[in-house]
Amino acid sequence: MNGTKEEFLSVLRAHLPKHVDVDAIIEEFACHIDEACTARLADTEDESDEEALQYVLHQLGSPAAIASQYRGVSSFSFLKCHMLLICANSLFFLMGIWLLYDKESSSTAGENIIWQVAVQYKEWMLLLYASFWLLAGLYLGRRYGFRIYKGIRTIMWKPLLLNYAFMLGVLFQIVPWQWFSGLLTVPFVFVCIVATLSFSRIAALGCRWGALHMKLE
């Protein structure tokens, strides 16, 4: 599309359906265009600001076509999102409980092979768990668009209650550290605390990206 950023956003606004948060969508696309132009100029030294803008607008495509993506957007429900994330996160905790039970019920060190692998690759497991929250945000953003983006951190606190409760239990030794022999060390506990406090931000990042690339219905 040829034209200015303002013209692009004006056409986009005119074609967006009324049931979506139009102002939020326009604001996000305005930021996205600015960021994309900055990145384009950093990658190509011989392009002018106008050329970079035209490239970005061309990559985005027709604003009317973008707006049409929001017409078939699934109905939004905070309760639905809460339950989806609570169930998914509960599965991770159930897996952890099973892992502890398997460790305690094993009579020899050789039978604790799964626990030994968990201890050896605990940083990778934490990274994979953080990726789950990123992908969860991405999924919600692609499914519900910018309507959910503004409230994603509010949505996240209930599913993360288990994490916060467990974190406090470990910190105050309500949950005995002996249960996690080899897995929990003081440095790793602090890494887990920082990660736990960051999960909502990670999900928000994924949600924003998903909303900007909402799947056509």
Most distant CA pair in the chain, distance:
72
Q: Among 15, 47, 68, give the residue marking a domain's end.
A: 68
Neighbours of 181 (CB within 10 A): 11
Residues 57 and 85 in one domain: no
Residues 45 and 126 in one domain: no
Residues 119 and 51 in one domain: no
Residue 61 lies in a domain: yes
pLDDT 10s digit of each residue in the chain, 217 long?
Answer: 567 889 999 999 998 887 667 887 888 888 889 988 998 888 887 888 898 899 989 888 888 888 887 775 555 566 677 788 889 899 998 988 888 887 777 655 555 777 788 888 999 999 999 999 999 989 888 877 776 776 787 788 888 998 999 889 888 888 887 788 778 888 888 999 999 999 999 999 998 888 777 644 4
Provide the number of structural domains found in the chain: 2
Residues 186 and 205 in one domain: yes
Domain encompassing residue 166: 78-212
Task: Look at residue 216 in the predicted model and tell me its pLDDT.
Answer: 42
Question: Is the pTM value of this prediction over 0.75?
Answer: no
Residue 143 lies in a domain: yes
Task: Look at residue 23 in the predicted model and tell me its pLDDT.
Answer: 82
Task: Look at residue 1 in the predicted model and tell me its pLDDT.
Answer: 54
Residues 56 and 100 in one domain: no
Q: Among 68, 102, 121, give the residue marking a domain's end.
A: 68
Neighbours of 101 (CB within 10 A): 10
Taking only the tens place, the pLDDT of each residue in 38-63 is 988 888 878 888 988 999 898 888 88
Taking only the tens place, the pLDDT of each residue in 119-149 is 889 999 999 999 999 999 898 888 777 767 7
Residue 73 lies in a domain: no
Burial string for 136-150 (b: 16+ CB within 10 Å, else e) reads bbbbbbbbbbbbbbe
Residues 88 and 171 in one domain: yes
Q: Among 17, 45, 68, give the residue marking a domain's end.
A: 68
Residue 217 lies in a domain: no
Using an 8 Å Cβ cutoff, are 143 and 212 in contact? no
In whole angstroms, what is the distance from residue 202 CA to residue 213 CA? Answer: 17
Give me the count of residues in the chain. Answer: 217
Task: Look at residue 143 in the predicted model and tell me its pLDDT.
Answer: 76
